[in-house]
Amino acid sequence: MVDRKANIGVVGLAVMGSNLARNLASREGNTVAVFNRSPGRTDELVEEHPEAEFVAATTYEEFAASLSTPRTAIIMVQAGKGTDAVIDELVKVFEPGDIIVDGGNAFFKDTIRREKAVRETGINFVGAGISGGEEGALKGPSIMPGGSAEAYETLGPILASIAAIAEGEPCVTHVGTDGAGHFVKMIHNGIEYADMQLIAEAYDLIRRGTGKSPAEIADIFAEWNKGELESYLIEITAEVLRQVDAETGTPLVDVILDQAGAKGTGAWTVQTALDLGIPVSGIAEAVFARSLSSKPAQRAAASDLPGPTEAWTVDDSDGTSTDTFIEDVRLALYASKMIAYAQGFDEIVAGAEEYGWDIHKGDIAKIWRGGCIIRAQFLNRITEAYAENSDLPTLLVAPYFRDAITGAEPSWRRVVSTAATAGIPSPAFSSSLSYYDGLRADRLPASLIQGQRDFFGAHTYKRIDKEGTFHTLWSGDRTEISS
């Protein structure tokens, strides 16, 4: 029998759950109950961390009995079937008013479904996106909870106690109802894919163009990290590039197989964007670039297809071109990064509209400033932009972003054209620039597409000079009729 009551419980004690439980236990006022399907993990955690004074349970009944009411439990188990299995068990032993939090990487539509089903029992269900990996879970993640405002009243202070702190504020906010938290976490991951791909393209261009070693490029990234690009991903890029493989003595980046893995949240972001009709081209290219990298047979078969015959390098005969090129790449990276965030926020706006969430975009940028993988200085600029005008049609027209893109644009074009001429793949840089040019164009060839659609499918079109819908009698006398 359990004799101590806990104010919070954690179910699922693999790397994320055990770190989150330790984080919770380290905060003043918390007593943490822990439970894992296989008791071995629970025993191990309790044994290794006596300082946490966990209340360990071996059954769901014991776990429920160990929690003070209203009971609050965070599930950190394998997303999908594991989450459903744990919810089914907790619902049996919890009571109306209790709170079940899913802190795993659930797809937001599953969270909407689960919230609806659990709500019918009177129990609150909160889908909370948690970012920051295992270190974040232990030291302070960025937390994106959804669910009801009522549940957040109890849960908010507990989450705030374990979240990362950025500029004095905890990186947690009530994102919106039901699946809003997991939706925003999904977009976070999508932006993370784009950010990583852009950094990888910048590295590749500098390496191939200047012949600098990974360690030298690490110094460049470390320098960039002191300016407007300052971010966790730029910081760790320098660390990875500096790492030397102990076995071969060569840079680690040169012995790592060049096939990038993915766990699917980037693909969810793109699939959802397609459903919502939002062009997240930078994120999509990042997801596709990982897919392409992971096709060794196709890559081998295509390796002798024609391309530029001479390997390209920067002509540095004037002694300054290398530095100019590196600065161009830095600015192209910054401009493309702005596009990725602008597209991600467009998807948040569209999701909020579709699913009825009152999402405060500036607050989302704020809670991403600490604890999470995309944490960056730059997020302050996004918060400021939305504070000035919460209805911005696109982030890119906010004064800061307009000015920053204006400064970067010539460099961005030079880098994309250099990459194309040199035969160096730059899918995220190039697609971001194309998106930018598409957005700012007075007129797009979409008019021709409308003409084609009307030709083969009588899909009709609108005109720029009068109201109404029209169709040309393509297989008849080609006169135009109103339809």
Ligand X SMILES: NC(=O)c1ccc[n+]([C@@H]2O[C@H](COP(=O)([O-])OP(=O)(O)OC[C@H]3O[C@@H](n4cnc5c(N)ncnc54)[C@H](OP(=O)(O)O)[C@@H]3O)[C@@H](O)[C@H]2O)c1
**In 269-383, where do the E strands start and end?**
none
The pair of structure tokens assigned to 383 is 């918060």
What is the SS3 assignment for 471? strand
Name which of 78 and 389 has its Cβ closer to ligand X: 78
Tokens 């029998």 belong to 1
C-alpha dihedral sign at 79, 19, 163, 59 = positive
Residue among 85, 90, 52 at smallest CA distance from 71:
90
Q: How far is the CB of 261 from ligand X (least distance, A)?
A: 13
Stretch that binds ligand X, among 82-90, 166-174, 218-226, 281-289 (CB under 6 A): 82-90
- Does 264 appear as a known binding residue? no
Q: Is 184 in the site for ligand X (CB under 6 A)?
A: no
Q: Is 198 in the site for ligand X (CB under 6 A)?
A: no
93 contributes a contact to ligand X by CB under 6 A: no
Among 77, 123, 187, 385, binds ligand X (CB under 6 A): 77
- Binding ligand X (rule: CB under 6 A), the pick from 35, 90, 104, 158 is 104
Size of the site for ligand X (CB under 6 A): 23
Cα 401 to chain centroid, rounded? 20
Residue choice 6, 9, 17, 392 for contact with ligand X (CB under 6 A) = 17
Binding residue per annotation — 263?
Answer: yes
Q: Does 59 bind ligand X (CB under 6 A)?
A: no
Q: How near is the Cβ of 372 to ligand X at its closest, in Å?
A: 10
Write down the catalytic residue from 48, 134, 167, 192: 192
The CB-of-28 to ligand X minimum distance in angstroms stands at 25
CB of 167 vs ligand X, minimal distance in Å: 23
Note if 462 is an active site residue. no
> Which entry of 115, 185, 201, 285 is annotated as an active-site residue?
185
Report the run of H or E that residue 245 belongs to, with start and end.
none
Contacting ligand X within 240-299 (CB under 6 A)? none
Which residues, including other chains, have CB under 8 Å from residue 162's CB and lie 6 or more apart? Answer: 20, 23, 24, 27, 140, 141, 143
The one-letter amino acid code at 193 reads: Y
Instruction: Judge whether 192 counts as a catalytic residue.
Output: yes
Reported for 394-401, long-range contacts at CB under 8 A and 24+ positions apart, including other chains, are 394/342, 394/346, 394/439, 395/338, 395/341, 395/342, 395/345, 396/338, 396/339, 396/342, 396/436, 396/439, 401/338, 401/342
| The one segment of 13-21, 61-69, 381-389, 457-465 that binds ligand X by CB under 6 A | 13-21
Task: State the Cα torsion 348-351-356-358 to the nearest 10°.
Answer: 0
| Options 58, 69, 78, 447; binder of ligand X; rule CB under 6 A | 78
Q: Tell how strand 99-102 and strand 124-131 pair up.
A: parallel
Q: 14 among the known binding-site residues?
A: yes
Q: Within 24-43, which residues bind ligand X (CB under 6 A)?
A: 36-38, 41
Strand partners, 166: 169
Residue closest to ligand X when measured from CB atoms: 104
By annotation, the residues acting in catalysis are 185, 192
Query: Which residues of the chain form contacts with ligand X (CB under 6 A)?
Result: 12-17, 36-38, 41, 76-79, 81-82, 85-86, 104-105, 130, 133-134
> Residue positions in the annotated binding site for substrate?
105, 131-133, 188-189, 193, 263, 290, 453, 459
